[in-house]
Structure 1
């Protein structure tokens, strides 16, 4: 009997107090195409096609002032989150992106990097960004406070958005799956059909959430240039 429903998301599998659940985070490296020692195949061409599309979109969002090669950071982030979201849909594989330890580490690291770079190299631009254009003088102190708070909570909102979306679908699949043992046969068929539809929805959520966190990180980096 499960004492806590959310305990299914805890990395509790271990050997000699060494957590094995986080090994699933590096399983995604197995899906990287070995283009340097294998002949190019359809999988490699698909990987290159997606990477080039993401590069063009991130380059457009970051503007002409971005550094060459800076889009590869966000392309790597997209594939990393995408593979971890997908791997969590397989049985007995821990979904690392459903844990704040991973999602908050990613978002906080990126946000701190943007802030440190922006305040050191573009200090005046960062101060100007605190007050939107056309703000009345009497509202300027309040706008500075509001913009500062909204800027500080950005890494938290990025992490919670990814974690909550991944937990919600997995939790619903678990609840429906545990209720199948007490259902008659005709309702069991409906339950299996609902589980398949939810699994398809989770595949879409895995793609959308990896794209959302990457796009938002790109937009945040554009604000410091």
Structure 2
């Protein structure tokens, strides 16, 4: 019997070792497809996705020199998307629903952006603290507000990803927990609603990976 709804997110196994975190490495199971002589439909879909993402990231980065940055953000999108997606299958641990996964990832990116920005483009970073056209009397308050919003960026990135992944799984668990006590007609309605929620959750897993990556890209453009 499940005593706590959040126990479905507990990273523990029967061997008292948190082997569930190994689900983050499922991405490597997809790598051998890249070396096939004849591309599969799965590989073709990934190539089309990467081409679309690269064109959009080039537009956001606004600099053709940022080829390496574009590859980094595409890899980040792939990592988050596959971790969100595999969590939709039964008995597979969803690593992206934990702050232990999303917080170090967002904090590492934020630290890289801040160190690079303040070390290389210090004057540019100072100008971002005061938006253009701000009245002189409001400048100290704008510096304080911009500084606070800059500091909490890794927290908002991490919480946005984890909260959205937790919410869908909890809703599916809540609906399924009452299935054994429902009559046949109500059970059919519940199964139909769960199927719709699964489709919604699949779209959320894609959208959240995209939002996390795009926001990271926008944060990086402020430092160069």
For 2:209, what is the secondary structure of its paired residue?
helix
Unpaired runs of 5+ residues, structure 2, are: none
1:96 alignment partner in structure 2: 95
Structure 1's 124 and 66: CA in aligned 2 closer, same or farther, altered over 3 A? farther
Larger mean Cα displacement after TM superposition, 51-60 or 6-15: 6-15
Task: Verify: 1:191 aligned to 2:190, yes or no.
Answer: yes
- Write the mapping of 1:77-88 to structure 2, written as runs, cut at 5 A: 77-88=76-87
User: After superposition, what is the alpha-carbon deviation per residue over 1:165-219, rounded to whole angstroms, capped at 9, x for unaligned?
Assistant: 0000000000111110110111111111011000000011011100000000000
* Runs of 4 or more consecutive aligned structure 1 residues displaced over 6 Å after TM superposition: none
Counterparts of 1:136-175 in structure 2, within 5 Å, are 136-175=135-174
Structure 1 partner of 2:23? 24
CA distance in 2, matches of 1:75, 1:33: 18
Retained in 1: the 8 A contact 2:129–2:143?
A: yes
- Structure 2 Cα separation of the partners of residues 34 and 3 of structure 1: 42
1:14/1:21 contact within 8 Å kept: no
Write the distance in 1 (CA, Å) between the matches of 2:64 and 2:107: 23
Q: Give the aligned length.
A: 224
1:49 positional shift: 1.2
Q: CA deviation at 1:14?
A: 4.6
For residue 33 of structure 1, report the CA deviation from its aligned partner: 4.9
Unaligned runs of 5+ in 1: none
Shift in Å at residue 104 of structure 1? 0.6
Q: Give the whole-Å Cα distance in 1 for the aligned partners of 2:70 and 2:32.
A: 19
- Cα-Cα RMSD: 1.3
TM-score by length of 1: 0.96
